[in-house]
Structure 1
Amino acid sequence: MYWVWMLIVSLIAGIIFGPLARLILPGKQNISLGWTILGGGVGAFVGGLIAKALGVKDTSGPDWTQYLIQIICAVIVVAIIAGYQSRSRSTV
C-alpha cells in the first residue's frame, strides 16, 4: 500500500516539480506539458526512493532535503526526456 500512495503523491508532485525542473534547465525544452508533468512525477518518485534509502525521509516537519533530492531527480528526468524528444524530432 505504501508504494501505491507514494506513486500517487509523486504524480501530484510532478505537477509542481516538472515545470520547476524546466525552469531550472538551461535553454528551451521542446516537450509537452504532459511529458513535463510525467517527468516531474518520475523524478519525484525516484527522489523519494533515494531519500528513503538515505534515511532523509524519516524526519519531522517539512522534508526540505527530500524535496531537493526530488527536484534534482526531476531535472535529470526532464532533461533526458527533452534530449530524447529533440533527438527523435531531428531525425524525422
Structure 2
Amino acid sequence: MLGGIWGIITTILVGLILGVIGRMLAKGDQRIPMWLTIVVGIIAAFIGNWLAGVFGVENTPGIDWIRHAFQVGAAVIGVIAAAAAYPKIAGGRTAHRS
C-alpha cells in the first residue's frame, strides 16, 4: 500500500518538475493552471521514456541524460499545446485573472 502511494507522489513530483521546466523553456505566455502543468509534466515523462526506448537509450550507465532531454522536450511541446488549447476548452477562462 505504501509503495503505491509513494509511486503516486513521485509521479506527481516528477510531473511538477517537468511541467515547470517546460513552462520556463516555452516561449510566450502560458495561461494554464498548475494542475494542468503537472498533468503535462506527467504525460511528458511517459512520452520521454517511450522515445528513449524507441531510440534504444532508455538505460544508460549513470544518469540517463538523453531520456531526460526527451522528457523536457515533450514537456515544452506539451506546455505550448496546453496553453493554446486551454482557453478554448475552458470557455475563455484562464488561470490568470485580469
**TM range, smaller chain:** 0.7 to 0.9
Distance in 1 between residues matched to 2:13 and 2:57, nearest whole Å: 20
Deviations 1:2-27 (A, max 9, x none): xxxxx956543211110110011112
Does residue 82 of structure 2 align to residue 85 of structure 1?
no
Q: TM-score, normalised by structure 2?
A: 0.76
Q: In 2, are the aligned partners of 1:10 and 1:42 still within 8 Å (CA)?
A: no
Q: Number of aligned pairs?
A: 86
Mean Cα displacement is larger for which, 11-20 or 38-47?
A: 11-20
Moved over 6 A (4+): none
**Unmatched runs of 5 consecutive residues or more in structure 2:** 1-6, 94-98
Distance in 1 (CA, whole Å) between partners of 2:18 and 2:31 is: 17
| CA offsets 1:17-69 (integer angstroms, 9 cap, x no match) | 10110011112111000000100110111111110121111211100011001
Alignment check: 8 A CA contact 1:10 1:45 kept: no
Aligned to 1:39: 40
Look at both structures and tell me which one has the larger radius of gyration over its CA atoms: 2
- Partner in structure 1 of residue 75 of structure 2: 74
Would you tell me which structure has more helix in proportion to its own residues?
1
